[in-house]
Amino acid sequence: MKKSKKLILLALSVAVALSLVFTWPAKVSAEDIVLTLWHWETPPHRVEKLDEILAKFREETGIEVRQNPISFPELNSKILAAIAANRLPEMIWVNPPQLMILRKHNSLVPVTDIFKRIDAEVQFLNPSIELYRFDQEQLTIPVYGISWPLEYRADLYEENGLEPPVYWTDLLEAAKKLTKDLDGDGRIDIYGMMMPYSIKGNYGSQAVWGFLRTNRANVVEMENGKEKIVFNSTQTIETYKFLKELTKYTSPGSGNMDWGMGELQIRTGKVATAVYTAGFLSTLYRKGLEEMARKWKQKFIPRPKDGRIGHTAYTRGLVFTTTVISSKEREAAVKTFVRWLYKPENYAEMMMMEPVLFVPVVNGKSMMDAFFAKPLIGKFRGAMEVQIDVLNNSSVIGFVNGIKAPHAAELEGSFTLGAVLQKIVLQGWSVERAVEWGQKRYEEIIKE
Amino acid sequence: MKKNIAENESVLGWILSTPSVVWILLIIVYPVILTLWISLHQQKMVEVNPPFIGLKNYIDLLPSAKFLFELKLTVIWTFLNIVLITPVGVLLGLLLNRQFKGVGILRTWILLSWIIPIVATTLIWQWMLEPAVGIINFLLYETGITRSYVNFLGDPSISMLSIVVVNVWRWSPFMGIMTLAALQNVPKEFYDAARVDGANAWQTFWHITLPQIIPTVSVTSFILIIWLFNMFPPIWLLTEGGPIESTTTLPIAIYKEAFRLFRMGKAATYSIILLIVVSAFVAGYMMLFVKSREEVVK
């Protein structure tokens, strides 16, 4: 081979090797701080709205905050990878399970001081505060909630002489009466109740959890500082027996139903009742289906006669990761952002990322006035008020009665509640056998 | 002089191949070694200094009914896919090899299922297969084929088959294109000679076309089998392994162990076992392939 060719080839291979080295991510210097916020509100209109808010913040303060929307199923894996690589963003919107992951790895900075300052002005709702308080320290600043009341077609209930259901017996009666073959072709056209028994996504498990809580059933308690699974109980068995009956009046796709398929049933008029967020109302409105949206009303999930009010609802919290304290300038910038975000007009605008779905977790008059002044919120004020009440009467697996179960993320992530109902409905297991299976599954999870 | 050139060539060869070797070490060898290391520990999430437990994860996992069931599902998934993709793909290739008006458009149209991102196509399938509002049930009912809803993805007895059908729809064009490429390399003289000898269409296909395309089809099937063993997106997007774990293949189980239950040690164990199973298949195939080639040469 000619010498010149050898030299060219040698130079090329060195260039390739060097490019690998120099394209390695560079550290951002203190002078050009860019903050990053991770969240999982990935629908394009939510991302767009948050972009507007962040652009406004930059215009007013000169500080840049970038959002990184991550799809929910990937969130846990991305957080874990970021922890391992020591590349966490400054801020993350979390649910309690993600908080437990970050806390386990000492990746959080308490936000007690700034929380107190903001709380004095906005008056956070109590449940959202307690959820994220550990050892007298506040680990997140509550951002917004998502709650799951009972949605029902008020027009169909009225037509069929039914009152909005308060107790389980009412709901069962309504589900039966409203399941109909409207055109006489031998197929059901509308189902009285959408009751998923699915492990695809967490809809199935969260719908079940709401009903369990109305009957005071639970998954885990703390005893002498250790987790104890209390799933196999009379209350749990009673609840599943009721749900088994309810599934007779649900859509055939309920065995594989996720949130998207659930909303599809609602939007196509296939169901008369559902445990679901009211967020679909704004979607119907935006698509020119306001009349359809107005037919839906919200109320508390029905309970047994001797039961309690209980629901599933999540409060998203904003955490500061340890990346925040990498420099004083970074920490100051993050605090500036958060204080700015909780000004009434900015917070109300943030709720517009998904109108009617996002529930404010604040109680301050100026905050709520700004929120309800938004036109779409004003249109569906009734739905919002119910959802706020639901948030105040809700809980999450592993966070009941003030406990903070260390394995909350795993217990929730196992989707065992939906799996138990699946075994009852699809495999024909007795309720007792299925609940016992669920108990063992949960025990296995906390054993490790 | 010769010796100098040989030495220089050798050194140059090392220098030129170093970037590729480094890259392979970084993205393949290192992760595999790390996974093996994790599988020997009781690793939860990304904790530092997890306890070393040796082969306990393997001893617990291998004989467990859960694992054996998931392995069985993986084999069934792979088998059903390959026995459907191969003939459908070959037929597609044969069809696309014919000359008729619109064959260009047909080629593009058939490839669409493979080109459009899998998330988009799978979500559309999910909607189409939905029993109460999906179009497939609507058509089945309106044409009188069924008298009630067919729960394609929510019935454990047919959910796997339903996902296989979606996957066959997606991957047959790939087999079709590979077959088409092989067909277009078959010398025309063979067909001319067959025509002269009075061979009919079936005889031509059996004695000329098929032997010519078998090597390509075999290699493509081989690659597909490896991909199918590791395939995650269509199953995850359509059922997430349900209902009642009836579609939980090994890749699905790995994901759930790692990112739902945060049992990284167990997930790593699953991964290593899957690697061994696939490697065993590859080794077996290569042995058969080399043996058959040797026999042909003899």
Q: What is the pLDDT of residues B100-155, one digit of tens each?
A: 888 888 888 888 888 899 999 999 999 999 999 899 999 999 999 998 889 999 99
Chain B: residue whose CA lies nearest to A199: B242
The tens digit of pLDDT for each residue in B58-100 reads 999 999 999 999 999 999 999 999 999 999 999 999 999 988 8
- Closest listed residue to residue A432, CA positions, set A176, A181, A233, A211: A233
Of A14-28, A143-157, A159-173, B193-207, the range with the lowest mean pLDDT is: A14-28
What distance in Å separates residue A21's CA from the closest CA in chain B?
A: 11
Given a cut of 60, is residue B242 above it in pLDDT?
A: yes
Question: Which chain A residues are closer than 8 Å to B23 by Cβ?
Answer: 20
A281 and A177, same domain (yes or no): yes
A85 and A233, same domain (yes or no): no
Given a cut of 90, is residue A9 above it in pLDDT?
A: no
Chain A: residue whose CA lies nearest to B47: A105
Question: Higher-confidence residue: A217 or B49?
Answer: A217
B261 → closest Cβ in A105, A255, A445: A445
Q: What is the mean pLDDT of residues A121-125?
A: 93
Of A162-166, A214-218, A367-371, B144-148, the range with the lowest mean pLDDT is: B144-148
Q: Which of residues 60-89 of B touch A (CB under 8 A)?
A: none
B133 → closest Cβ in A1, A255, A264: A264
Rounded Cα distance, A78 and A100, in Å: 15
Q: How many domains does chain A have?
A: 2
Given a cut of 90, is residue B285 above it in pLDDT?
A: no
Q: Which of residues 123-142 of B touch A (CB under 8 A)?
A: 126-127, 130-133, 141
Q: Do B153 and A423 touch (CB under 8 A)?
A: no
A44 and A88, same domain (yes or no): yes
Question: What would be the CATH architecture of the domain defined by B58-297?
Answer: Orthogonal Bundle (1.10)
B80 residue type, one letter = L
Q: Do B154 and A256 touch (CB under 8 A)?
A: yes
Per-residue pLDDT band at B8 (split at 50, 70, 90): confident
Which alpha helices (DSSP H) does B97-152 contain, by range? 103-115, 118-129, 135-142
A56 and A91, same domain (yes or no): yes
B233 residue type, one letter = P
Interface test with A, best of B261, B263, B264, B266 (most A CBs within 10 A): B261
* Residues above pLDDT 90, as percent of chain A: 79
A409 and A382, same domain (yes or no): no
Q: What angle do CA B221, B222, B224 make, to 5 degrees?
A: 60
Question: Higher-confidence residue: A20 or B257?
Answer: B257
Residue A2 lies in a domain: no
Given a cut of 90, is residue B243 above it in pLDDT?
A: yes
What distance in Å separates residue B86's CA from the closest CA in chain A?
A: 29
Which one-letter DSSP state was computed for residue A190?
B
Last residue of a domain, one of A348, A367, A386: A386
Per-residue pLDDT band at A26 (split at 50, 70, 90): low
B242 → closest Cβ in A104, A187, A199: A199
The whole-number pLDDT of residue A129 equals 86
What distance in Å separates residue B149's CA from the closest CA in chain A?
A: 7
- In angstroms, how far apart are the furthest CA atoms of chain A? 95
The tens digit of pLDDT for each residue in A37-83 reads 999 999 999 999 999 999 999 999 999 999 999 988 788 889 989 99
A297 and A329, same domain (yes or no): no
B18 → closest Cβ in A17, A254, A419: A17
Q: Do A6 and B8 touch (CB under 8 A)?
A: yes
* DSSP for A343-381, written as a single string: SHHHHHHHHTTSTTTSEE-B--HHHHHHHHTSHHHHHTH
The whole-number pLDDT of residue B294 equals 67
A299 residue type, one letter = K
- Which residues are paired to A109 by β-bridges? A320
What distance in Å separates residue A256's CA from the closest CA in chain B?
A: 5
A193 and A78, same domain (yes or no): no
Q: Which run of H or of E encompasses B47? A: none
A338 and A437, same domain (yes or no): no
Per-residue pLDDT band at A30 (split at 50, 70, 90): very low
Given a cut of 70, is residue B39 above it in pLDDT?
A: yes
What CATH number corresponds to the domain at position A342?
3.40.190.10
Residue A368 lies in a domain: yes
Q: What is the mean pLDDT of residues B249-256?
A: 96
Q: Which run of H or of E encompasses A143? A: strand A141-147
Q: What is the mean pLDDT of residues A440-444?
A: 96
Whether A397 and A185 have beta carbons less than 8 Å apart is answered as no
Q: Which domain holds residue A115?
A: 31-147+313-386
Per-residue pLDDT band at B1 (split at 50, 70, 90): very low
Rounded Cα distance, A221 and A233, in Å: 13
Whether A347 and A341 have beta carbons less than 8 Å apart is answered as yes
What distance in Å separates residue B30's CA from the closest CA in chain A?
A: 15
Q: Which run of H or of E encompasses B2? A: helix B2-24
What distance in Å separates residue A314's CA from the closest CA in chain B?
A: 18
Question: Which chain B residues are closer than 8 Å to A448 by Cβ?
Answer: 42, 44, 263
Residue A414 lies in a domain: yes
A347 and A411, same domain (yes or no): no
Per-residue pLDDT band at A317 (split at 50, 70, 90): very high
Rounded Cα distance, B226 and B222, in Å: 7
Q: What is the mean pLDDT of residues B42-56?
A: 88
Given a cut of 90, is residue A10 above it in pLDDT?
A: no
Q: Do A199 and B241 touch (CB under 8 A)?
A: yes
Per-residue pLDDT band at A25 (split at 50, 70, 90): low
Q: Do A198 and B242 touch (CB under 8 A)?
A: yes
A243 and A364, same domain (yes or no): no
Given a cut of 70, is residue A247 above it in pLDDT?
A: yes
Given a cut of 90, is residue A316 above it in pLDDT?
A: yes
Question: Higher-confidence residue: A31 or A237?
Answer: A237
Given a cut of 50, is residue A342 above it in pLDDT?
A: yes
Burial of B279 (0-12, 13-18, 19+ CB in 10 A): exposed
A170 and A286, same domain (yes or no): yes
Question: Which chain A residues are closer than 8 Å to B45 by Cβ?
Answer: 80, 83, 101, 104-105
Put simply, whether B244 touches A (Cβ < 8 Å) is yes
Q: What is the mean pLDDT of residues A259-284?
A: 93
Put simply, whether B230 touches A (Cβ < 8 Å) is no
Question: Which chain A residues are closer than 8 Å to B146 by Cβ?
Answer: none
Q: How many CB atoms lie within 10 A of CB A185?
A: 11
CA dihedral B25, B30, B31, B32 (to 10 degrees): 100
What is the residue-averaged pLDDT of chain A?
A: 92
Burial of B122 (0-12, 13-18, 19+ CB in 10 A): buried
Residue A77 lies in a domain: yes
Put simply, whether B99 touches A (Cβ < 8 Å) is no
What is the residue-averaged pLDDT of chain B?
A: 91
A212 and A294, same domain (yes or no): yes
